[in-house]
Amino acid sequence: AWVDAPIFESFRHPLTGLETRASGRLRMLYDDEALYLGVEIDDLDLHSEYDERDDPLWEADVFEFFLRPMRGKSDYFEIQTSPRGVIFDSHFERYRHPSPYGNVDFDSALELSVKAMGTFADEKLDTGYRIEARLPFQPIKDRLPAFRTPEPGADVFVNFFIVDRGKDYRSAAAASPPFVPDYHHQAAFARLTFLD
């Protein structure tokens, strides 16, 4: 199915909008029940010590996905996955509220397959990791009853981030750079239009 999906690979530095060490490729598809993501992340030094759901994955290598599903509503969702396949998912009712990490009791029911191409926390050169994820719409509807399953022409607002934290470096990249040190900056969320 991914063969026909458009590829997004213009990830840029979150603060400058310039090319950065962190890089990857993203594909998306959808049907009546879910949004599907296929992500390939380049990473020469895999680091992720976290193994519990809703751990602070952003402190290590991670792929982050922000979704504001409704125009005119401030609610948004943050979903992260590590190269180990650990998930962080949260619902924010408005900008960074509730503080500090949102409603972490939110369960996105994310179905996830992650393949790490390398080993963790050693000197061996790694390649990166691959993510295939299915995000069902129902848990979003459960939080936002007015949300409707997207149809062709419908819009949602999104942003995606790659955090690459090696032993001796830290890099990050954004699909839509916020140009401020805040991944929750909703003004930077890009409009995603569903096609037929």
User: Which amino acid is residue 149, in one-letter code?
Assistant: T
The answer to whether residue 33 is domain-embedded is: yes
Q: For residues 133 and 113, give the distance between their C-alpha atoms in angstroms, rounded to a whole number.
A: 6
Domain assignment present for 4: no
Report CA-CA distances (Å) from 62 to 23, 139, 148, 177, 196. 12, 22, 29, 17, 31
Residue 2 domain-assigned (yes or no): no
Tokens of 104: 């972490």
Residue 150 confidence (pLDDT): 94
Q: What is the pLDDT of residues 60-117, one digit of tens each?
A: 999 999 999 999 999 999 999 999 999 999 999 999 999 999 999 999 999 999 999 9
Element (H, E) at 73: none
Q: Which helix (H) or strand (E) holds 30?
A: strand 23-30
In a domain, 14, yes or no: no
Q: How many domains are contained in the chain?
A: 1
CATH number at residue 37: 2.60.40.1190
Structural domain of residue 69, as residue ranges?
A: 24-193
| The pLDDT of residue 66 | 99
Q: Residue 138: inside a domain, yes or no? A: yes
User: Three-state secondary structure along 154-182?
Assistant: CEEEEEEEEEEECCCCEEEEECCCCCCCC
pLDDT in tens, 144-193: 999 999 999 999 999 999 999 987 889 999 999 999 999 999 999 999 99
